[in-house]
Homo-oligomer: A and B are copies of this chain.
Amino acid sequence: MSAQTKFLLDESKMPRHWYNIAADLPVPAPPVLHPGTMQPVGPDDLAPLFPMELILQEVSTEREIAIPEPVREVFKLWRPSPLIRAHRLEKALGTPARIYYKYEGVSPAGSHKPNTAIPQAWYNQQAGIKKLATETGAGQWGSSLSFAGALFGIEVTVFQVRVSYDQKPYRRALMETYGARCIASPSNETNAGRAILAQNPNHLGSLGIAISEAVEVAATHDDTKYSLGSVLNHVLMHQTIIGQEAMLQLEMAGDDPDVIVGCTGGGSNFAGIAFPFIGQQLRGAGKTKQRRIVAVEPAACPSLTRGRYAYDFGDTAHMTPLTKMHTLGSTFTPPGFHAGGLRYHGMAPLVSHLKQLGIIEATAYHQNECFAAGVQFARAEGILPAPEANHAVLGAINEALRCKQEGRSEVILFNLCGHGHFDMSSYSNFAAGKLVDQPYDEAELAMALAGLPSVPA
């Protein structure tokens, strides 16, 4: 075990461009539609919510978009993130596979989310915006935007799904330490929130509802814009710094991945590690090796494996445009499992499009097997993964066990998108045998899918 463990890049080697997969798609992704006119939305439709630079990124088909220097300066606090060879996990599994993980938990907020929070805050600051509203589930995104706001002097308001707000006071404390305001959603601060509370004052909230509240605040306040931590094209593009770095680091290691694994909720960390490799494949550039790209999602919220590829709203109150994506229906409420960052009814349109084109695979796991994988990983590699990341850990372990069975020494790369330091109550519950693999309600799914908006072909 004397081979190299950690592959570090000097900050001078940090990528200077984001990679935009729209430039290389064999078929363009379907347009985003205005729900009133059913016509494609234009930049002006999005202007109340986002600064123009981000809107232009959202619709760009340029292959490379320069990362602004002030953004790169902030990234240098923790980027390039390490690529680590999982020597000890390989040994524990007895696999001939070589397993590498890109570790995004080194960011101050503990996940990949600052990769997009920092540029989003910066572009808003450049556009003269003083306030941002956003939503968060488990709190990874909320704390990342709070951190970004502190650096660029932007007031951040975070609508946090109430069940997480109550269960994870420490994530909230982190947001508040960065100077942000955190509000349990549904709240009395918006029409969307008040309408839900009128029906059920004890509503536990959902990401869809929290999005509605944050969008409403941005849409109704001239000095406030909205910021989203996943799903959108520009958000996924900001994460491609992960895969670009991993590509350089695997070159240092003299390896080339056969399988790339990421967990998917909205799709951003998966896109971050996978898109640069997919782009290489689509362009026929680099090595000609055909790689398998595997998205791992929770069995209790299985948009890619059980959802319909259809136009749907991104939020519960139907304030967003319509996007074509794998969706369980905007009214679908997944059971309360512990990977809060993966509890979203839809999927990033770009990830959905690639799934539809057969360029990526998807698989779904239950939460107890994911936590077991996380514990095994921690005891071998030290790092305690976030519950979301445990899905990718299990995906990588299963690929490594397949390699063992088939006697193949494939190279497996996965994205360890964050640590679980704020999720210890979940680990406690797992250790105590208190976690339940609660399936989603088939009837509710059927109803949610039946309620999908009808869009003329």
Contact = CB atoms under 8 A, between A and B. Distances in A.
Nearest to A9: B8
Interface stretch (A34-42, A175-183, A231-239): A175-183
Contact of A78 (B108, B177, B382): B382
A69 B2 contact: yes
A428 B173 contact: yes
16 contacts: A2-B69, A2-B73, A4-B11, A5-B11, A6-B11, A77-B382, A77-B383, A108-B384, A147-B382, A150-B379, A169-B428, A173-B427, A177-B379, A177-B384, A177-B427, A421-B422
Contacts of A4: 11, 76
B176 A431 contact: yes
Interface residues of A, number: 50
A88 B382 contact: no
Given A150-B379, A170-B424, A382-B108, A431 B177 contact: yes
Given A173-B428, A428-B169, A1 B73 contact: yes
A282 interface: no
A378 interface: yes
Interface string A357-382: 00000000000000000010011111
A356 interface: no
A107 B382 CA distance: 8
A428 B421 CA distance: 16
Interface string A60-81: 0000000001000100111000
Contact of A5 (B76, B179, B419): B76
A381 B77 contact: yes
Interface in A412-453: 419, 421-422, 424-425, 427-428, 431
Q: How many copies does the complex hold?
A: 2
Given A4-B11, A108-B383, A378-B177, A88 B427 contact: no
B381 A178 contact: no
Given A6-B11, A177-B378, 5 more contacts: A1-B73, A150-B378, A150-B380, A173-B424, A421-B421
Interface in A1-47: 1-2, 4-6, 8, 10-11
Contacts of A87: 73
B73 A5 contact: yes
A230 to B, nearest CB: 21
Nearest to A108: B382
A5 B170 CA distance: 29
Contact of A378 (B178, B380, B419): B178
A180 to B, nearest CB: 11
Given A88-B151, A169-B428, A379-B150, A174 B384 contact: yes
A377 to B, nearest CB: 10
A77 B69 contact: no
A110 interface: yes
